[in-house]
């Protein structure tokens, strides 16, 4: 376990010290600094046996402690136009977001230069973006926690990948009851769990997904399958469909119908894309202890269900598996 740090910088060395004025005699007991100290002098350092005046020492310490205090406050240094950043380097922009360098660069402001920087997570409340209706997402949404908060359906259009920094990530969560369609822009396609290239995916209430640009398309980097989520079918009862990480699809639900015919079709609100492996029916106690339901014609879209024994209508639960 790492030691708990208790030391802090406590302040900037010689902060506020006046500059040494050439040709002016310094006042005794006054702390001075020497802002004219050059980068070359910093690189060379002080030769052996050279006597260094306090103003030069104070200036060097002031610069060092200023940077250390910024690191103490931000964890990562704020962007500086004079710094040469290396590929993969980090800096905090003036908008309080964290950026990562896509290539070596100098004087390329990360807030406005997407060719050299990509935005990571925000370091302040600016990192939250709330949409209450359909909208087109922009470069400002990269790195944000984007939420769709509406009881009405809406569409959020992703930024175009040709103007998006490579490797940029957009995270979207639906926090209300209105279905949110997350749609591509241009010719890009979306690759997500259970989907080999689609134009859009639908986020139901509680769904979330993070998508990353690869320069051509969008690829899911976190979250579950968000297309086959919970939904209600008012005529057939409560149904749910979920896709597992290995691609297997599980459907389950309940049918409560007063139909008294010899058979009644069970139709899945969303069919299996490829095949159905098994379908199990379980009678409700309300139909009696000898109630039984059987099926025939099982397919990716459903089956014909027959009642038997004490079953007078159709009240049963089901579970189906397939791909």
Structural domains in the chain, sorted by start:
1-74 (no CATH), 84-121 (no CATH), 124-222 (2.60.120), 231-322 (2.60.40.3940)
pLDDT band at 73 (very low <50, low <70, confident <90, very high): confident
| Closest CA relative to residue 75, chosen from 87, 64, 86, 91 | 91
Q: Which pLDDT tens digit goes with each residue over 235-283? A: 344 677 777 777 888 998 888 888 999 999 998 878 898 999 999 999 9
Q: Which pLDDT tens digit goes with each residue over 301-316? A: 999 999 999 999 999 9
pLDDT at 126 over 60: no
Which helix (H) or strand (E) segment holds residue 249: the answer is strand 249-257
Q: Which pLDDT tens digit goes with each residue over 189-246? A: 988 876 678 898 888 777 888 888 888 899 888 766 555 444 333 334 467 777 777 7
pLDDT at 143 over 70: yes
Of 30-39, 48-57, 191-200, give the lowest mean pLDDT range.
191-200
| Closest CA relative to residue 8, chosen from 78, 69, 74 | 69
Q: How far is CA 38 from CA 23, 44, 281, 312, in A?
A: 19, 10, 82, 94
Q: Which residues contact 156 (CB under 8 A, 6 or more apart)?
A: 131, 134, 135, 136, 137, 146, 148, 172, 180, 181, 182, 183
pLDDT recorded at residue 264:
94
pLDDT recorded at residue 230:
41
């Amino acid at each position: 376990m790492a030691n708990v740090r208790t030391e802090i910088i406590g302040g900037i060395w010689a902060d506020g010290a006046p500059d040494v004025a050439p040709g002016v005699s310094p006042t005794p007991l006054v702390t001075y600094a020497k802002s004219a100290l050059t980068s070359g002098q910093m690189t060379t350092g002080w030769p052996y046996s050279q006597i260094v005046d306090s103003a030069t020492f104070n200036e060097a310490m002031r610069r060092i402690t200023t940077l250390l205090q910024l690191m103490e406050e931000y964890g990562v240094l704020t962007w500086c136009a004079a710094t040469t950043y290396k590929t993969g380097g980090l800096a905090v922009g003036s908008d309080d977001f964290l950026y990562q360098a896509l290539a070596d660069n100098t004087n390329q402001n990360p807030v406005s230069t997407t060719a050299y920087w990509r935005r990571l997570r925000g370091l302040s409340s600016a990192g939250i973006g709330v949409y209450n209706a359909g909208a087109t997402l922009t470069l400002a949404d990269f790195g944000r926690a984007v939420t769709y908060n509406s009881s009405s359906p809406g569409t959020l259009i992703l930024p175009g990948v040709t103007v998006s920094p490579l490797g940029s990530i957009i995270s979207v969560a639906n926090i209300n009851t209105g279905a949110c369609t997350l749609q591509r822009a241009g010719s890009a396609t979306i690759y997500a769990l259970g989907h080999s290239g689609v134009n859009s995916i639908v986020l139901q209430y509680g769904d979330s997904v993070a998508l990353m640009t690869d320069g051509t398309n969008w690829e899911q980097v976190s979250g579950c399958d968000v297309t086959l989520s919970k939904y209600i079918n008012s005529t057939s009862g409560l149904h749910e469909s979920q896709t597992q990480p290995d691609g297997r699809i599980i459907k389950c639900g309940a049918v409560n119908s007063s139909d008294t015919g010899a058979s009644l079709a069970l139709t899945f609100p969303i069919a299996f894309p490829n095949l159905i492996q098994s379908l199990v029916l379980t009678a409700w106690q309300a139909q009696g202890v000898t109630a039984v339901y059987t099926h025939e014609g099982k397919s990716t879209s459903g089956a014909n269900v027959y009642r038997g024994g004490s079953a007078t209508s159709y009240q049963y639960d089901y579970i189906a598996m397939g791909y």
